[in-house]
Amino acid sequence: NDIQIGEFQKKIATENYILVDVRTAEEYTEGYLEGALNIDYFSATFSDEITNIGLEKPVLVYCRSGNRSGKSMRIMSDLGFKEVYNLIGGIKGWKAKNNRLIKE
């Protein structure tokens, strides 16, 4: 379920998805997608935190380049998530296409 930026944007626009940023808190504050939850892939409690959002809800996940989010997607599938999509190229690809980020 790796998807390109255009398809990711269409899914965000439907508002039926939970958006999850699996980068570190430091990376997150540098710029993130509007409405994204930050759940750090490297956190010892990642599986517990990600499960708390609900296994039945469709999820869009991204990281810096697509690597951690791809791994997160596999973990989420193993945990029983029904629908998870990973942004190919991550936030780097998103920025390269001049898409908007929220900065704190």
Query: How does pLDDT run across 57-70, given as a tens digit for each residue?
Result: 999 999 999 999 99
Whole-prediction pTM:
0.96
User: What pLDDT digit, counting tens, does each position of 27-76 carry?
Assistant: 999 999 999 999 999 999 999 999 999 999 999 999 999 999 999 999 99
Which one, of 65, 83, 64, lies nearest residue 73 by Cα? 83
Q: How many residues are recorded in the chain?
A: 104
pLDDT mean over 68-92: 97
State the burial class of residue 63 (Cβ atoms within 10 Å of its Cβ: 0-12, 13-18, 19+): buried
Helix %, strand %, coil % of the chain (to 5): 40, 15, 45
